[in-house]
Amino acid sequence: MPNPKAPESGSTRAVERALDESKQVKKAVEEAADELALVHVVLDKGISQDARSDDLDRAIAQTDQIEKKLSKSVDLLEKVAEALETQASKEAPSRAS
């Protein structure tokens, strides 16, 4: 007789795997955002206004915009991880039964 719980346990494993992967991606994006923020500060504060070209000013502005996008991505990944954790916890009790 087929086990009706088998698809759920497979589903739970898939959710848990997705959760682990999303946490790894979140950490990588956070690290990239932190590194980019450091580059932005060095470019913005480390080079005097007189020594800057228009291209450098645009690059500085772009690093700030990219860092903000990465930070928003981290927030979104946090929400995804929370949703996956909720789903995994809902499915986990059904595995034990």
- Please give the pLDDT value at position 94: 54
State which residues form the domain around 33.
Answer: 6-91
Q: Is residue 64 included in any domain, yes or no? A: yes
Q: Is residue 1 included in any domain, yes or no? A: no
Long-range Cβ pairs for the range 64-68 (8 Å, 24+): 64/40, 66/36, 67/33, 67/36, 67/37, 67/40
Q: Is residue 96 included in any domain, yes or no? A: no
- What's the pLDDT tens digit per position in 77-86? 999 999 989 9
Q: Is residue 15 included in any domain, yes or no? A: yes
CB 51, CB 31: distance < 8 Å: no
What total of structural domains would you count in the chain?
Answer: 1
- What's the pLDDT tens digit per position in 27-74? 999 999 999 999 989 988 888 888 889 998 899 899 999 999 999 999
Q: Is residue 30 included in any domain, yes or no? A: yes
**Residue 52 carries which side chain, given as an amino acid letter?**
R
Q: Which residue has the higher pLDDT, 1 or 81?
A: 81
**What gap in Å lies between CA 48 and CA 46, rounded to an integer?**
7
Q: Is residue 32 included in any domain, yes or no? A: yes
